[in-house]
Structure formats: C-alpha cells, structure tokens
Structure 1
Amino acid sequence: MTTAHPVTNTTAPATDGVTGVVTGRPLAWLRIEGLAVAGGGLAIFAGTGQPWWLIPALFLVPDLSWFAYLAGPRIGAWVYNLAHTAPLPLALLAAGAGWHNSALTVAGAVGLLHLGLDRLMKYGVKYDHSFGVTHLGVHGRHK
C-alpha cells in the first residue's frame, strides 16, 4: 500500500499508520549518509594499522545493548539508541586520539561502521514504545 505525499504528490510506502517514520527522498538521503558514515568508520579503522579481523569480531558489540530491553522498553530504547547514534563512537574516537589509545580508536571506528550500515539498512533510532519501530522504518511486529 502507498500513500500520496501531501507536498510533492508522490507516493511513499505506507508505514502501517506509524507516525514519525521517515519516507521518500529524505529516507534515501539518510541511507546515503549511513553509507558515508560506514565508509568513514572503515577509513579511520584503516589508519589504525590494526588487523582487519577485528571488524567482524567487534561489529555486533553495539547490538548487545539490546539486553537493556529486559529492563523495559523505555530503558531499552535509551541504551540501544546510545549505542546506535554518533555521540558514543565519536567520543571513543576523540578519547582514542587524545590519549593515543588505539583500542578506543578501533572501538569508535567499528561503532561508526556499525551505525552507518544500520542506517543504510533502514535500522534507525528506536522509539520507546516498540523495539521494531524506528525513525527509518518498521521492522517485524510492533504494537
């Protein structure tokens, strides 16, 4: 099902009545931005000189924040979003640069890579009411 956009009169996929989900051209730009962020994370990682096997070994670490949902959707969304938005990996990168600590730099670079690829695949910032509802789309079943 598609709905007509009131300003551009173009159609965009329906989001099952969920408000706050980006569609259309802004979604395309946010996905392109995600690709750029992922590329930046890879470029920063390449500059560390660390072994490339660290990327697959650490790539899913931000997803461990999912366990915060065991404390409820509000706390879960807050912790998950902290691990899946730019401030945390950027802080790790700054700390790594400031303290000349390659482990922190690697963590920040892999965090940016993870964040960028999530955005590219339409996994966005979570709302408090449902794990599957993000600003970039609805995934799975939601309330």
Structure 2
Amino acid sequence: MNKALLHIEGLAVLLVSLYFYSIHDFSWILFILLLLAPDLSMLGYVINIRTGTLVYNLFHTYVVPIGVVFIGILLDSDIALAIGIIWVAHIGMDRMLGYGLKYQTDFKDTHLNRV
C-alpha cells in the first residue's frame, strides 16, 4: 500500500507541475527538451557507483529544483521558474513510474523498492 501511495504522490506532483507550467504559458518545446535532462546525472556512474549515486540523488531530490523555483520567483526570472517546474515534473514522473533515490548497493536498488 505504501508503495502505491508513493506512485500516486508522484503522479500528483507531475500533474501539479504541468498545471503551474501551463498557467505561466511557458514553452512546451522547452518542457519536452528538458524533461529528461536530470537523467544525464546517471553519467556519474561512469566514475564509480558512489559518485553516481551521489550525483543521481542530488538531481532527483525535490530540494534543489524547489530552490530553483523559489529563485525564479524571487528574481522574477521566467527561465529559472520554468526550469525548476520542469525539474520537479521530472522527479514526479520518475516517482510515478517507480524510480526512486538510489542506494550505493546497486543502480536498481532504490528507496521505493524498500518501502
């Protein structure tokens, strides 16, 4: 049951992100181009599993993109706000699909698997 709730939570985050992105009338081309950009953080695994886990988790936790959203709001920067919302949408999409934060044991070993 807990795992299902986390998937639903991810869907909710994705839908809320899409809503806020749409009401700001940002570019959907930008959205499509950047939606999978946080997955480039998987390149950290080329160095080693410890670095890969650290970099991947940094790019897949809500703290950083929500900070980017706040910076966009505070500085009245549409590009920062758009990037932050896209980033949050990506994480919500990942959680909805069952991808979670990684453990150093294995790439497929995530916090959603241990719920």
Q: Which has the higher strand share?
A: 1
Q: Which has the higher helix share?
A: 2
Distance (whole Å) between structure 1 residues aligned to residue 79 and residue 24 of structure 2: 9
Aligned partner (choices 40, 43, 47) of residue 16 of structure 2: 40
2:108 aligns with 132
Find out whether 1:53 has 2:29 as its counterpart.
yes
- Matched pairs, number: 114
Q: Supply the RMSD in Å over aligned alpha carbons.
A: 1.3
Correspondence 1:11-90 to 2 at 5 A: 25-90=1-66
Code of the residue aligned with 1:48 in structure 2: it is H
Distance (whole Å) between structure 2 residues aligned to residue 47 and residue 103 of structure 1: 15
- SS of the residue aligned with 1:53? helix
TM-score by length of 1: 0.76
Code of the residue aligned with 1:77 in structure 2: it is T
Distance (whole Å) between structure 2 residues aligned to residue 121 and residue 129 of structure 1: 21
Per-residue deviation, 1:120: 0.7
TM-score by length of 2: 0.93
Per-residue deviation, 1:129: 1.9
Deviations along 1:75-96, one digit per CA (max 9) or x if unpaired, are 1111101111100110110000
Per-residue deviation, 1:137: 3.0
Code of the residue aligned with 1:131 in structure 2: it is F
Code of the residue aligned with 1:29 in structure 2: it is L
Deviations along 1:25-82, one digit per CA (max 9) or x if unpaired, are 0001111110111112112211322121211111111000011111211111111011
Gaps of 5+ in 2: none
Correspondence 1:95-134 to 2 at 5 A: 95-134=71-110
- SS of the residue aligned with 1:137? coil
User: Sequence identity, in percent?
Assistant: 36
Deviations along 1:79-129, one digit per CA (max 9) or x if unpaired, are 101111100110110000000111111111111111011001100010012
- 1:34 and 1:116 in contact (8 A); partners too: yes
